[in-house]
Structure 1
């Protein structure tokens, strides 16, 4: 059975509608001057669990596109590989996991505005939330400063990831699909076994099965990540 618990907004306390001095310094460290524009940056850092009307969701929607275009342009400039290879790297560099990793590297968890229950449940370290807020900051940057400064911020924050091998190896699900075909097996089947925890810290358990070979389970913060982890674990176990 898949379990799902709805998270109600936390109204047990009123959060300040002013940026703390620490958050102001954090933003300035990213090259952003929030003076006179605090409301937008507060919105970018606010999770829905606070119960406030304005939270990061709209800015996240925008920032996702800013990030995607920034990375796509960067890859196009640096590589002359085919579209498939570029897409493979793009997907890795804009993934929720990568966004969350960048967020932790810059110290973003300390500045997210969460309701008490969400914070107690570990929301400040959730890949889902960290990835979303990282994108919402890019969305706010685009609204206030336009594309070029926001693209420059992406290139600065993602420089180590771009220099790494992220996305250069074949995706685990693609590798498993090819392995099954090459060994004359039926395609792998993915099944959601369980979903637990609140929305901001959800845990998904996925099972991948290749008939007449075996099955493995994996757990992650999203169904997609759990499928990827299961495929990787299956290859490590059976290939």
Structure 2
């Protein structure tokens, strides 16, 4: 089979030319577009998650020979979580080539983090089946790039870290308040404020309450830790 010009351009963005192009087509096919003659990417997602996990575990193990299991585990979780996979998917514009049903397309499916993360894992599996583990591993390491070396900061849960900071100074837990909810139901945008008992606060905006809370906590924690220096 022949791939469309858009999928050929996507091959160039991820750095892999498929010998079995049907694997890539399946990897970008969401369940909303599946049919008796077109399989979706859910089985590939399952496999890709494992290929990604082994790749990241090996990379972290090699990158820091002194790290304990307790230090490696949160770094690993930060690298393989859906949000990170979705960030990588956005960088290679995976959303532009997804095959979506009409309802999923109308609800902003090309921008949904969960959908993008799943599809990224499916693409990893497709490369693995097309060319083997070493090729898939090399692609993942290339696409994840410097994240492996900067993951120490990203692996911390910002809300937990901010609460621990406040408790260490005998303050009440930070308080989170939703200030605004904008946008349509299928693509809402939340603005959240986090405030410490001592009065300091930060605001953040994101596509989910959780992401906005984490972003606000991260910003406030960074400011408070800077003031502590």
Give TM-score scaled by structure 1 length. 0.70
Aligned to 1:118: 104
| Segment of structure 1 superposing worse, 60-69 or 221-230 | 221-230
Aligned to 1:64: 49
Q: Secondary structure at the match of 2:126?
A: helix
State the 1:76 CA deviation: 0.6
Aligned pairs, number: 219
Q: CA deviation at 1:55?
A: 1.6
Structure-2 change in CA distance of 1:216 and 1:159 (3 Å)? closer
Report the Cα distance in structure 1 between the residues aligned to 2:116 and 2:77, rounded to whole angstroms.
Answer: 17
Which of 37, 51, 74 aligns to 1:88? It is: 74
Gaps of 5+ in 1: 1-16
2:33 aligned with 1:50, yes or no?
yes
1:132 aligns with 2:123: no
User: Hey, what does 1:75 align to over in structure 2?
Assistant: 60
Q: CA RMSD in A?
A: 3.6
In the alignment, structure 1 residue 152 sits paired with structure 2 residue 124: no
Deviation digits for residues 162-187 of structure 1 (CA, Å, limit 9, x no counterpart): 34x23335431231131132122455
Kept in 2, the 8 Å contact 1:206–1:219? The answer is yes
**Mapped partners of 1:223, 1:83: distance in 2:** 31
Comparing both structures, which one devotes a greater share of its residues to helix?
A: 2
3-state SS of the aligned residue for 2:153? coil
Give the unaligned 5+ runs of structure 2.
Answer: none
Using CA pairs below 8 Å that are at least 6 residues apart, which structure has the higher relative contact order?
1
